[in-house]
Amino acid sequence: MLRVARWQSLALSIGWTVLLLCGAAVLGELTVRQRERHRATVPGTVPLLFYRHTRLRHALVRDDDYFGWIHINREGFRGGDVPVGRTPGVARIMVVGSSTTFDPLVSRDAAAWPARLQFWLQQLAPTRPVEVLNAGVPGYIVVDDLIRLETELYRYQPDVVILYEGHNDLFGALRRGVEPRQVDTQTPDEMPSVTPWGHWLSRHSLLYAKIVERLHVIQFGAAGRRAVVATGAAARDGAPAGLDSGAIQFAHAVTAFLAVAQGCGFRVVIPELVHVSGVGVLSEADQQVRQSWIRAMPFATPEGVLQGYARYNAMLRDDARRFHAVWVPTDSFALKGVEFYADGDPIHFNDQGADRMGHRLAEALLAKGVL
């Protein structure tokens, strides 16, 4: 009888513990969802907007809304619904890229720079109707854009495709330069396994997704600091490790994208990549800006990152000229300085930066006769 009583007491304790944990989890989930919907500042991350994709690592959940902050339409673009078929007499521009196109840190869909591009084109040339599709997906690189262009984006038959891409390609190259991946020679690039409960939680629990993302950020920063110390990258002169091989891979991907886009009959526009330090700048003295670069890319020095941007922009310019795409220099856009970027972020616009990007690019497109 004593043994039975002990087992009953243990089972009761376990049961109460499970109930308390479940209650805490439900309360935490409700709290974080309430905060996300009523927060006063733009959410830093939007994890529930993504799902695992068969060809790509991830994609945007269609016809979904992130607590009123961001809407993904039925076609997988940020903003309101658009038909697949063209509207007669309306020019169609498709902007392709990653988070710096998607613009997750602006206050609303209409504040993203592709939406501001449409606004300013309509203001500057009111007799030329135009629609702009925001096909940016956070986390993508040029190869992902290429796959998406070949598998679905071509169906929208845009007059113009704007490729604004390179940030993630550069950051990935700099990381690989000091933290080489452990490659299995039999199954390289194998998709990481995910437990059924982990997959379900990542799609349905904001609390779980936020915790996992925070852990990834902490691990990312720690891995960057360890890699820089281990390789001595912070003190090394010359090109950052991984930049040369990454630039070659980047140029190849851009070449493939241009070949496919032009093969589909689309006119391609490539704007020069912008960032908080200013286009073409190779050093950064402002300590606040330096810290934003270190947080964004801890696997290289700020000077190494800026050198990478100069290299990648040069390759974008050369590829654009080689394929007769429209190259848009952005040094005159004056998008240098923290006032145009989200707090502590060197590459993602705030509302002011997104509006200026859209305004200046609209002026450039009209001046170059793109529309």
pLDDT digits (tens, 9 = 90+) for 59-68: 999 999 999 9
Select from 117, 152, 83 the least CA-distant residue to 269.
117
Strand order in the sheet with 160-164: 130-136, 91-97, 160-164, 267-271, 326-328
Helix pair angle (351-367, 113-124), 10° resolution:
50
pLDDT digits (tens, 9 = 90+) for 257-295: 999 999 999 999 999 999 999 999 999 999 999 999 999
Q: pLDDT at position 207, please?
A: 84
58: β partners: 52
Which are the contacts of 17, defined by CB distance < 8 A and separation ≥ 6? none
> What is the full DSSP assignment across 70-124?
EEE-TTS-BSS---SSPPTT-EEEEEEESHHHH-TTSSSGGGSHHHHHHHHHHHH
Question: Is residue 55 situated within a structural domain?
Answer: no
In whole angstroms, what is the distance from residue 15 CA to residue 301 CA? 52
Could you tell me if 25 and 108 lie in one domain? no
| pLDDT, greater one: 253 or 33 | 253
Instruction: For the chain, give the longest Cα–Cα distance.
Output: 91
Could you tell me if 94 and 223 lie in one domain? yes
50: β partners: 60
Question: Is residue 228 situated within a structural domain?
Answer: yes
Domain count, the chain: 2
Question: Is residue 44 situated within a structural domain?
Answer: no
Question: Is residue 17 situated within a structural domain?
Answer: yes
Could you tell me if 33 and 127 lie in one domain? no
List the CATH number of the domain containing 211: 3.40.50.1110
pLDDT reading at 341 higher than 80: yes
Other Cβ atoms less than 10 A from the Cβ of 32: the count is: 17
Q: pLDDT at position 234, please?
A: 47
Helix pair angle (243-263, 302-322), 10° resolution:
30
Could you tell me if 23 and 114 lie in one domain? no
pLDDT digits (tens, 9 = 90+) for 209-261: 888 888 888 888 777 777 766 666 444 556 788 899 999 999 999 999 999 99
Other Cβ atoms less than 10 A from the Cβ of 13: the count is: 10
Could you tell me if 200 and 337 lie in one domain? yes
pLDDT digits (tens, 9 = 90+) for 66-109: 999 999 999 999 999 998 988 999 999 999 999 999 999 999 99
pLDDT reading at 169 higher than 50: yes
Could you tell me if 12 and 155 lie in one domain? no
Residue 353 class from Cβ within 10 Å (0-12 exposed, 13-18 middle, 19+ buried)?
A: buried
pLDDT reading at 297 higher than 70: yes
Q: pLDDT at position 235, please?
A: 46
pLDDT reading at 11 higher than 80: no
| Rounded alpha-carbon distances, angstroms, from residue 250 to 62, 149, 316 | 29, 17, 9
Say if residues 55 and 145 touch (Cβ distance below 8 Å).
no
With bands split at pLDDT 50, 70 and 90, how would you rate the model's confidence at 312? very high
Select from 66, 115, 26 the least CA-distant residue to 359.
115
Lowest mean pLDDT among 7-21, 164-178, 345-359: 7-21
Say if residues 308 and 243 touch (Cβ distance below 8 Å).
yes
| pLDDT, greater one: 330 or 217 | 330
Q: pLDDT at position 254, please?
A: 97
Pairing status of strand 64-66 against strand 267-271: unpaired
- Whole-model pTM: value is 0.92
In whole angstroms, what is the distance from residue 145 CA to residue 51 CA? 17
The mean pLDDT of the chain is 90
Q: pLDDT at position 1, please?
A: 57
Q: pLDDT at position 4, please?
A: 61
pLDDT reading at 316 higher than 50: yes
In whole angstroms, what is the distance from residue 84 CA to residue 28 CA? 40
pLDDT digits (tens, 9 = 90+) for 123-145: 999 999 999 999 999 999 999 99
Question: Is residue 177 situated within a structural domain?
Answer: yes
Name the token pair of 75: 């076609």
Say if residues 64 and 155 touch (Cβ distance below 8 Å).
no
Select from 103, 160, 107, 121 the least CA-distant residue to 360.
121
> What is the full DSSP assignment across 246-263?
HHHHHHHHHHHHHHHHHH
Q: pLDDT at position 180, please?
A: 65
Query: Coil, helix or strand for 180?
Result: coil
- pLDDT above 90 covers a percentage of the chain that reads 65
Domain span at residue 141? 80-183+191-367
